[in-house]
Structure 1
Amino acid sequence: MEAVYQNSDLTGLYEKIREDEKQNKDILLEFQDDYPDVLNGDNLADILKAAKAKKK
C-alpha cells in the first residue's frame, strides 16, 4: 500500500493495473471456454501464472 502512495504517477499506475485486470479477465474467460468446470478459487492464481508464461 505504501508503494502506491509513493508513486508520483497514480494515473499511470491505475491504467497499468486496469490493463492487467483486463488481460487477466480475457485469459480466464478463454481458459474457462477451453476447460469448463476446471477454474476455481483454489487454482486461479496458478492458471493465470501458467497462461501468462505460455503467452510469452
Structure 2
Amino acid sequence: MAGEAVTWSEHVDDVLARAGLKHGGARQRVIDLLAYEQCALSAVEIEDALRAQGKPTA
C-alpha cells in the first residue's frame, strides 16, 4: 500500500528476495536481532546475543 511504513526487517527481506537469495532461519534470527538494536554489533556480539536467547545460528 502506498504510504504504508515498511520496517527495516521487511526492507531487508525484500532486498534479499529480489537478489534471489533463499530465506533461511539463521539469517532471519540475525535480521530480527538487528532490527531491535540501536547500534551495530560485531559477529561475536550477534552470536552471543542469539545464544543467550536460546536461538543459536549454528
Q: TM-score, normalised by structure 1?
A: 0.41
